[in-house]
Amino acid sequence: MAPGFLDVAGHSIARHQVALALALGCTRIVVHAETLDPEIVEIQHAAEQRGARFHVIAAARALVPLVSPEDELFVFAEGLLAMPDEARRLLDEAPGVLVLPVEIGTPAGFERIDINHAWAGAMRLSGRVVAMLGDLPSDWNPVAALLRLATQARLPLRAVPGVLVDQGRWRLVRTEQEADLAENDWLVLHTATDHVRSPGEWLAVKAVRRLGPALLHAHTRPWLVGMAAVLLALLGLGAGWWGWTALGLALVGLGWVVLQVARLLGRVERDCLLVTGGPVRGGGMLPFVIDAALVGVCAWHGLGHGLEHGPGGSTGGDPAQAGGWFAPLVLILLLWLLPAILRGFRWTAWLCDRLVLAGGLALVAMVLPLDGALRIVDVLLLATALGQAHGLIPNRLLTSGT
In a domain, 180, yes or no: no
Given this model, what pLDDT does residue 370 score? 85
Contact 113, 119 (CB under 8 A): yes
Domain interval for residue 250: 191-399
**Which residues, 6 or more positions from 343, have their beta carbon under 8 angstroms from its beta carbon?**
none
* pLDDT band (50, 70, 90) for residue 278: very low
Q: What are phi and psi of 113, to 5 degrees?
A: -115, -20
Q: What are phi and psi of 341, to 5 degrees?
A: -85, -45
Contact 252, 293 (CB under 8 A): yes
Whether residue 28 is found in the same domain as residue 154: yes
* pLDDT band (50, 70, 90) for residue 118: very high
Given this model, what pLDDT does residue 13 score? 92
C-alpha torsion 241→244→245→247, nearest 10: -120
Distance CA 76, CA 26 (A): 13
Distance CA 146, CA 273 (A): 26
* pLDDT tens-digit readout, 288-308: 999 999 999 998 886 665 544
Given this model, what pLDDT does residue 37 score? 82
Residue 76: strand pairing partners: 122
* pLDDT tens-digit readout, 132-185: 887 777 778 889 999 999 988 889 999 999 999 999 999 999 999 999 899 888
Whether residue 154 is found in the same domain as residue 222: no
CB-based contacts of 158-164 (< 8 A; 24+ apart in sequence): 158/90, 158/93, 158/94, 158/96, 158/97, 158/98, 158/99, 159/98, 159/99, 159/100, 159/101, 160/90, 160/98, 160/99, 160/100, 160/120, 162/100, 162/101, 162/104, 164/82, 164/83, 164/86
Domain boundary among the residues 175, 209, 242 is at: 175
* pLDDT tens-digit readout, 324-343: 788 899 999 999 888 877 76
DSSP letter (8 states) at residue 347: T
In a domain, 186, yes or no: no
pLDDT surpasses 70 at 5:
yes
In a domain, 224, yes or no: yes
Domain boundary among the residues 113, 146, 175 is at: 175
In a domain, 389, yes or no: yes
In a domain, 185, yes or no: no
* pLDDT tens-digit readout, 8-54: 888 899 999 999 999 899 999 999 988 888 888 988 998 998 899 99
Cβ count near 173 (within 10 Å)? 23
Whether residue 229 is found in the same domain as residue 168: no
* CATH number, position 223: 1.20.120
Given this model, what pLDDT does residue 203 score? 94
Higher pLDDT among residues 279 and 376, named by residue: 376
| Average pLDDT, integer, range 359-373 | 88
Distance CA 198, CA 353 (A): 6
The number of domains in the chain is 2
* pLDDT band (50, 70, 90) for residue 309: very low
Nearest Cα neighbor of 188 from 210, 216, 166, 171 is 210
* pLDDT tens-digit readout, 44-78: 998 998 899 999 998 888 898 999 988 999 999 99
Whether residue 195 is found in the same domain as residue 307: yes
